[in-house]
Amino acid sequence: MRVRNKPWAKDYVAEHTERLVEEPEPLKGNWQSRFPKEQPLYVEIGTGKGQFIVEMAKAHPDRNFIGIEIQFSVIAAALKKVVASELTNIQLVHTDGEAVNTFFAAGEITGLYLNFSDPWPKSRHAKRRLTSPVFLAHYADVLQPKGEIQFKTDNRGLFEYSLGSLNNFGLVFDGVWLDLHAATDGVEDIQTEYEQKFSAKGPIYQVIAHFPVDDSSDK
């Protein structure tokens, strides 16, 4: 998808470096220093224009949030939302989320959100999907024991692939929803901009799963 350049974006980002990081590697293992209070850290890969991460931060003031986005103009729009919110428990990162293990330390993250990721529908591109084994191995590196992944999509093929991938990697399913917006079990459903725009065209699928804890060392 082509993203239009925003002439104001570069200057706006430069004015708000306290909210947005462009070189994340030096902060590996020290992300809590970007927040006024040390709290469990939750990360969204592909934060888009920031609606989800801002609303999550409002709903959970006892957590710290980081939104990662590769498109500069898009993360600049998210930055506007973050600044306007005046919330102190959100940081943004302008980078590619593919290699999270290069800028987060082992066990640094409590939970991870993957919302409406690129489905990469061709089989030869399967390894690029954010729920492929390659990426799951990276998430396992940086998530705490029993670290949680929440994955949402409107793409049935990607959802079915992801269920198989997570299962084969050994994750434990905490919940699977084939039509999230019709759910009556009280699941939290904070929506992204994309979700609000396209949910009328079909169901939203969601899975929440966590990595198991290896207790073998205690035996």
Q: Which residues are catalytic?
A: 118
What does the alpha-carbon distance between residue 54 and residue 164 come to, in Å, rounded to a whole number?
Answer: 31
What does the alpha-carbon distance between residue 103 and residue 127 come to, in Å, rounded to a whole number?
Answer: 21
Distance between the two ends of the chain, CA-based, in angstroms? 51
What does the alpha-carbon distance between residue 209 and residue 176 come to, in Å, rounded to a whole number?
Answer: 9
- 44's CB contacts (< 8 A; 6+ apart) are 52, 53, 56, 65, 66, 67, 68, 112, 113, 114, 115
64-69 and 90-94 beta bridge pairing: parallel
